[in-house]
């Protein structure tokens, strides 16, 4: 009978899929151009070298929640996960990520410097293997600002010179710092002020001055779309998104690097993997975070490699052939006023300020 | 239909205000697009009122006046809005030319029965306008998606080139991306592998359950029915979370078969409901007659019962198929990256990268759905005709 045949075939198919899974490795990342750059710089050479089949899952956005659920269900299906440093710290604290020893489990630099020294300060958590430095910064429409392009972060708050909508991320992080700096607080005192309720109110009061001109974004792709539409005159997003908008899509947009905020993104290995999978994940990490691989990723996307030894190896864009160094957030010309995301402050104050910010938004 | 009611010309005090209202609505749209809706509405009302008055009172010759109005609108639209305005002007010019004389000559009453009161006539047309507006409201998002999918840029934007109907503003690159990109092709393959098998399971189990539940001697029929229908009523996210933990324990989470089973569970209620509905019209004495002639229950089912309830089975199966093909929440929980389906890929694509490839996929899916529904409807009509149930 036909029905039975289909049933048998589908069951066989399911088992066949199960059998292949032994050689599969699921790597979780952010999707889009970023996953593409990892695919080319890390996954493809690794698959060619070892024969392991890498499956991409684009769930980094909800990685913390999903890893918690997987842990509860006792069924961790991810092998390596790409997360931002703050998420890595949370996962590490909750015991959901495995601790890594940089000296034995990561590749040393070509000149013999240990991985711990090569990554330096960027090893912000015991479970976190940094991969890139990215920044949250502004882009503006060159055709909507006349012949007076903005070059100061406070131009974002200047509605008279630069009228029009601007897009900001729908969370307090970065926005309150920028607001305080533009309200006259010296950059090195920003977090002292932000610790006090008055300082927090002051930041929100400054944001209040532009609130009705702000479009709030929550996905990295929003600001590029809004800029391309001409819906906003300027907006914040990740610098790689702006690079692709400007250089690859040729939109009339330019960068405003002033007070860009650096953040780190990298790998964690979930806790509770079987010995075999753990070994493979560690092998992948050793391969994918060596000096050359990290430099290779910069050929595809304008995020700075996390190793000091990778910086001199950053070359040209793979397809466009332009020098990538001037587009890196870490380039000296771009990073004069750059600040690093303050992990300790936000670990302590994030929940409070999030609540305050949401209440302010709803007002 | 021939004219039912003799018609006569209407007074100015009737048709000029009505045309002005229509003009105000059209002006509201154009004005809103240009920045001031109120100004547009007022200007639209004024322009159309003057035109309607002038066309009917000063010249008594319909054809040339309608052509002149069309030319005026096309010219005006072209001057104000370029090629896109030209097309818009063409549409508006044709419509208002027809509309003014339709009212002026009293043609709107021609096809209605003579004894209707004015209010009934008004309601007759208002009803149609409201239905039309609802249809437009439902369809417009889909219609916007289609031209945008031919965008030459990587954004959800009608570029100036597109509005000028410049061929350079259009491209098939998003369609090419869909057919060449491994992610999309994997997703398509997964969807095509999951949906039919899930449908097959839903249809088999759902039909059996419906037949069983319609037999009068089965105890607790209502309770069993309620449980089987529950996946339709329980919020999807709850079913999904429950399935996630349950399937994780029994090793089905992240497997092809797990996703198929989950989708089958979601599809079964649709099949049960449609098949139960067709079974109401099924004559039980046919099964007894069949048994009387020596057929065993299985033969009876396939030879007698199945052909008669087939329309219900097919439409239930269609719903089950669409449920599986469209479903994103459950597959996000129960599936792993290896079972990424089209909706999943669209969901992540929309969040991480606003790429018009999604629009290209959406357009393809809409075209396939229309094709599928048309085919089913045509097959249904054909079988009805063959059975002599419908005169068409």
pLDDT tens track for B353-367: 777 889 999 999 889
Q: Distance, in angstroms, between A249 CA and closest chain B CA?
A: 7
The percentage of residues in chain A with a pLDDT greater than 90, rounded to a whole number, is 57
In this structure, what DSSP letter does residue A343 have?
A: H
- Cβ contact (<8 Å) for A77 and B336? yes
What are the φ and ψ backbone dihedral angles of B220, each rounded to 5 degrees? 55, 40
**Can you give the pLDDT of all 392 residues of chain B as single tens digits?**
456 777 888 888 888 999 999 999 989 988 887 778 889 899 999 999 998 888 888 877 888 888 988 999 999 888 887 788 888 889 999 999 999 989 888 888 888 888 888 899 999 999 999 999 999 999 988 888 888 899 888 888 787 778 777 888 888 999 998 999 888 999 999 999 999 999 999 999 999 999 999 888 888 988 999 999 998 899 999 999 999 999 998 989 889 999 999 999 999 999 999 999 888 888 888 988 999 999 998 999 898 888 888 888 988 998 899 889 889 999 999 998 888 999 998 888 777 777 788 999 999 988 988 888 888 788 778 777 776 655 44
Residues written for chain A: 363
- Residues paired with residue A97 on neighbouring β-strands, in sequence order: A270
Chain B interface test: which of A3, A73, A224, A230 (most B C-beta within 10 Å): A73
Question: What does the pLDDT average to over A241-255?
Answer: 89
Residue A249 contacts B where some CB pair is shorter than 8 Å: yes
Q: For the residues of B107-144, what is the DSSP string, one character each?
A: GGGTTS-TT--HHHHHHHHHHHHHHHHHHHHHHHHHHH
In the structure, what pLDDT confidence band is assigned to residue A14 with cuts at 50, 70 and 90?
A: very low
Using the beta-carbon criterion (under 8 Å), do A77 and B352 form an inter-chain contact? no
Residue B136, pLDDT score: 92
Contact (CB, 8 A) for A221 and B351: yes
Report long-range pairs for B379-385 (Cβ below 8 Å, ≥24 apart): B380/B311, B383/B311
Please list every residue in chain B whose beta carbon sits closer than 8 Å to the beta carbon of residue A57: 336-337, 340
Residue with tokens 């299906």: A77
Q: So what's the pLDDT on residue A59?
A: 86
Q: At what angle do helices B173-180 and B182-214 cross, to 10 degrees?
A: 70
Q: What is the CATH number of the domain that holds B245?
A: 1.10.3720.10
- B100 and B197 fall within a common domain: no
Instruction: State the first-to-last Cα distance of chain A, in angstroms, to the nearest integer.
Output: 66
Helix (H, G, I), strand (E, B) or coil at B151: strand
Task: Check B255 against A17: CB less than 8 A apart.
Answer: yes
Query: Residue A20: pLDDT above 50?
Result: no
Pair of tokens at residue B259: 């996703």
Rg of the Cα atoms in chain A:
22
Identify the closest residue of chain B to A250 by CA–CA distance. Answer: B153
Closest-CA residue to B27 (of B75, B96, B94, B121): B96
Q: Is residue B65 part of a domain?
A: yes
CATH classification of A2-133+265-321, choosing from 3.40.190.10, 2.140.10.30, 3.40.50.800, 3.40.50.720? 3.40.190.10
A contacts of B200 (beta carbons < 8 Å): 3, 6
| Together in a domain, B235 and B341 | yes
Q: Do B354 and A222 count as a contact with CB atoms less than 8 A apart?
A: yes
pLDDT for residue A5: 53
Do the chains contact at B353 and A13, CB–CB below 8 Å? no
Q: What range does the domain containing B196 cover? A: 181-355
**A31:B351 CB<8 A:** yes
Q: Do B207 and B339 sit in the same domain of this protein?
A: yes
Q: How many of the other CB atoms lie within 10 Å of CB of B90?
A: 15
A84 touches chain B (CB under 8 A): no
Same-fold call for A2-133+265-321 versus A134-263+335-362? yes
Query: Of B115, B132, B150, which closes a domain?
Result: B115
Q: How far is B320 from chain A (nearest CA, A)?
A: 17
Mutate to test the interface with A, among B169, B263, B329, B336 (most CBs of A within 10 A): B336
**DSSP assignments along A177-204, one per residue:** HHHHHHTT--GGGHHHHHTSHHHHHHHH
Domains in chain A: boundaries: 2-133+265-321, 134-263+335-362
Question: How would you label A310-348 residue by residue, b for 16+ Cβ within 10 Å and e otherwise?
Answer: bbeebeebeeeeeebbebbbbbeebbeebbebbeebbee
Which residue in A13, A224, A229 is closest to B256 by CB distance?
A13
Question: Could you tell me the two tokens for B216?
Answer: 């009068």
Q: In terms of domains, do B195 and B307 share one?
A: yes
* Chain B positions in Cβ-Cβ contact with residue A71 (cut-off 8 Å): none
Q: Is the pLDDT of residue A46 over 80?
A: yes
Q: Is the dihedral of CA A8, A10, A16, A22 positive or negative?
A: negative
Cβ contact B337–A75 (<8 Å) = no
Please tell me the total count of domains within chain B. 2
Residues B199 and B82 in one domain: no
More confident residue, A18 or B208: B208
Looking at the structure, do residues B201 and B338 belong to the same domain, yes or no?
A: yes
Reported as a pLDDT band with limits 50, 70 and 90, residue A62 is: confident
Quick one: tokens of B93? Answer: 């010019």
**pLDDT at residue A12 greater than cutoff 70:** no
From the CA of A12, how many Å to the nearest CA of chain B?
10
Q: Which of A291, A333, A335, A334 is nearest to A314 (CA)?
A: A291
> Residue B196 falls within a domain, yes or no?
yes
Tell how strand A80-84 and strand A253-268 pair up: antiparallel
Domain-located, residue B96: yes
**Residues B301, B304, B309, B313: what is their CA dihedral angle, to the nearest 10 degrees?**
40
The answer to whether residues B93 and B72 touch, using CB atoms and an 8 Å cutoff, is: yes
Q: Are A166 and A258 in contact (CB under 8 A)?
A: no
A222 contacts in chain B (CB < 8 Å): 354
Q: Contacts of residue A72 in chain B, CB cutoff 8 Å?
A: 245
Give the chain B residue whose CA is nearest to the CA of A26: B337
Q: Is residue B167 part of a domain?
A: no
B13-47 burial code (b ≥16 CB/10 A, e <16): eebbebbbebbbebbbebbeeeeeeeebbbbbbeb
Chain-centroid distance of CA A221 in Å reads 13
Q: Which position has the token pair 């049933």? A: A7
pLDDT band at A130 (very low <50, low <70, confident <90, very high): very high
Residue ranges of A 223-242 with Cβ closer than 8 A to chain B: 224-225, 228-229
Q: Are B40 and B31 in contact (CB under 8 A)?
A: yes
Interface touch A26/B204, C-beta < 8 Å: no
Nearest to A3 among B157, B204, B254 (CB): B204
Tell whether B227 is covered by a domain.
Answer: yes
Q: Does A225 contact B156 at a Cβ distance shorter than 8 Å? A: yes
Which domain-ending residue is among B86, B115, B144? B115
Per-residue pLDDT at B10: 85
Ramachandran area for residue A227 (φ above 0: left; ψ -120 to 50: alpha; else beta): alpha
Helices (H), chain B: 12-34, 37-57, 62-104, 118-148, 160-163, 173-180, 182-214, 221-233, 236-249, 256-280, 285-292, 297-300, 306-326, 329-334, 342-352, 357-386
For residue B100, CA distances in Å to A48, A78, A247, A269 come to 73, 67, 53, 72
**How close are the terminal C-alpha atoms of chain B, in Å?**
19
- Does A314 score more than 90 pLDDT? no
Chain CA centroid to CA B315, Å: 16
Checking if the pLDDT of A18 tops 50, the result is no
Where residue A21 falls among pLDDT bands split at 50, 70, 90?
very low
| pLDDT at position A19 | 42
Domain boundary among B64, B99, B115: B115
Mean per-residue pLDDT of chain A: 88
Question: Looking at beta carbons, which residues of chain A come within 8 Å of B253?
Answer: 73, 75, 77
Chain A residues with CB-CB distance to B255 below 8 A: 14, 17-18
A358 inside 8 A of chain B by CB: no
Which residue, among A8, A10, A20, would best test binding to B if mutated, counting the most B CBs under 10 Å from its CB? A10
For chain B, say whether A272 makes contact (Cβ under 8 Å).
Answer: no
pTM of the model: 0.78
Same domain, B201 and B311: yes
Are A57 and B337 an interchain contact pair (Cβ–Cβ within 8 Å)?
Answer: yes
Nearest to B336 among A3, A26, A222 (CB): A26
pLDDT tens for each residue of A212-242: 999 999 888 889 989 988 899 999 999 988 9
Interface touch A10/B156, C-beta < 8 Å: no
B55 part of a folded domain:
yes
Do A26 and A82 meet the contact criterion of CB atoms below 8 Å apart? no
Distance CA A342, CA A177 (A): 10
Whole-Å CA distances, A106 to A46, A118, A281, B1: 16, 10, 12, 84
- A312: Cα separation from own chain's centroid: 22
Q: Evaluate whether residue B305 is within a structural domain.
A: yes
Q: Could you tell me which residue, A253 or B82, shows the higher pLDDT?
A: A253
Picking from A17, A31, A74, the nearest residue to B352 by CB comes out as A31
Superfamily of domain A134-263+335-362: Periplasmic binding protein-like II (3.40.190.10)
């Amino acid at each position: 009978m036909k029905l039975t045949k289909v049933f048998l075939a589908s069951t066989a198919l399911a088992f066949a899929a199960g059998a292949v899974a032994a050689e599969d490795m699921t790597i979780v990342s952010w999707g889009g151009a970023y996953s593409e750059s990892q695919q080319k710089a890390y996954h493809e050479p690794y698959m060619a070298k070892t024969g392991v089949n890498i499956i991409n899952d684009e769930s980094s956005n909800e990685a913390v929640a999903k890893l918690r659920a997987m842990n509860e269900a006792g069924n961790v299906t991810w092998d390596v996960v790409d997360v931002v440093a703050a998420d890595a710290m949370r996962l590490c604290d909750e015991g959901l990520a495995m601790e890594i020893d940089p000296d034995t489990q990561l590749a040393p630099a070509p000149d013999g410097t240990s991985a711990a020294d090569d990554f330096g300060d960027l090893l912000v958590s015991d479970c976190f293997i940094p991969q890139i430095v990215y920044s949250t910064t502004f882009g503006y429409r060159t055709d909507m600002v006349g012949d007076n392009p903005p070059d100061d972060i406070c131009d974002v708050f200047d509605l008279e010179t630069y009228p029009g909508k601007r897009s900001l991320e729908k969370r307090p992080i970065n926005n309150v710092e920028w607001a305080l700096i533009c309200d006259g607080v010296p950059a090195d005192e920003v977090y002292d002020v932000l610790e006090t309720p008055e300082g927090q109110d002051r930041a929100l009061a400054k944001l209040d001055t532009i609130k009705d001109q702000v479009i709030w974004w929550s996905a990295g792709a929003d600001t590029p779309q809004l800029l391309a539409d001409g819906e906003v005159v300027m907006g914040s997003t990740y610098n790689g998104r702006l690079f692709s908008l400007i250089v690859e899509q040729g939109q009339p947009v330019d960068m405003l690097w002033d007070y860009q905020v650096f953040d780190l993104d990298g790998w964690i290995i979930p806790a509770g993997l079987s010995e075999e999978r753990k070994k493979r994940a560690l092998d992948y990490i050793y391969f994918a975070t060596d000096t050359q691989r990290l430099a290779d990723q910069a050929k595809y996307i304008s995020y700075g490699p996390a190793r000091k030894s990778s910086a001199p190896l950053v070359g040209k864009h793979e397809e466009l052939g332009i020098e990538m160094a001037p587009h890196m957030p870490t380039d000296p010309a771009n990073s004069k006023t750059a600040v690093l995301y303050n992990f300790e402050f936000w670990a302590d104050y994030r929940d409070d300020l999030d609540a305050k910010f949401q209440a302010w938004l709803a007002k | 239909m021939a004219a039912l009611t003799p018609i006569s010309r209407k007074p100015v005090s009737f048709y000029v205000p009505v045309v002005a209202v229509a003009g105000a609505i059209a002006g509201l749209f154009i004005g809103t697009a240009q920045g001031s809706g109120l100004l547009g509405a007022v200007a639209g009302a004024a322009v159309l009122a003057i035109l309607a008055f002038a066309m009917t009172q000063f010249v008594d010759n319909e054809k040339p006046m309608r052509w002149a109005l069309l030319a005026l609108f096309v010219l005006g639209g072209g001057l104000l809005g370029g090629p896109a305005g030209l097309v818009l002007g063409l549409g508006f010019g044709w419509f208002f030319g027809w509309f003014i004389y339709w009212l002026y000559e009293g043609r709107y009453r021609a096809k209605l029965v003579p004894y209707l009161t004015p209010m009934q006539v008004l309601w007759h047309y208002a009803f149609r306008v409201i239905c039309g507006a609802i249809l437009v409201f439902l369809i417009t998002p889909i219609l916007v998606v289609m031209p945008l999918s031919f965008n030459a840029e990587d954004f959800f934007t009608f570029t100036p080139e597109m509005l000028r109907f410049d061929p350079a503003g259009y491209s098939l690159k998003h369609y090419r991306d869909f057919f060449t990109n491994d992610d999309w092709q994997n997703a398509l393959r997964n969807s095509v592998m999951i949906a039919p098998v899930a449908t097959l399971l839903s249809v088999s189990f759902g039909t059996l359950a419906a037949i069983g539940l319609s037999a009068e001697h089965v105890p607790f029929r209502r309770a069993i029915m309620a449980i089987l229908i529950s996946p339709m009523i329980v919020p999807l996210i709850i079913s999904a979370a429950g399935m996630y933990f349950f399937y994780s324990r029994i090793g089905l989470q992240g497997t092809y078969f797990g996703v198929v089973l989950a989708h089958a569970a979601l599809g079964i209620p649709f099949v049960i409901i449609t098949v139960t509905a067709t079974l109401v019209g099924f004559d039980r004495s046919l099964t007894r007659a069949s048994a009387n002639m020596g057929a065993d229950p299985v033969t009876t089912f396939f030879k007698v019962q199945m052909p008669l309830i087939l329309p219900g089975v097919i439409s239930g199966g269609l719903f089950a198929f669409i449920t599986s093909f469209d479903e994103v929440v459950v597959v996000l929980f129960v599936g792993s990256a290896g079972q990424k389906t089209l909706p999943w890929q669209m969901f992540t694509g929309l969040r991480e990268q606003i790429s018009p490839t999604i629009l290209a996929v959406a357009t393809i899916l809409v075209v396939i759905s229309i094709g599928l529904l048309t085919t089913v409807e045509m097959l249904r009509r054909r079988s009805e005709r063959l059975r002599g149930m419908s005169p068409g």
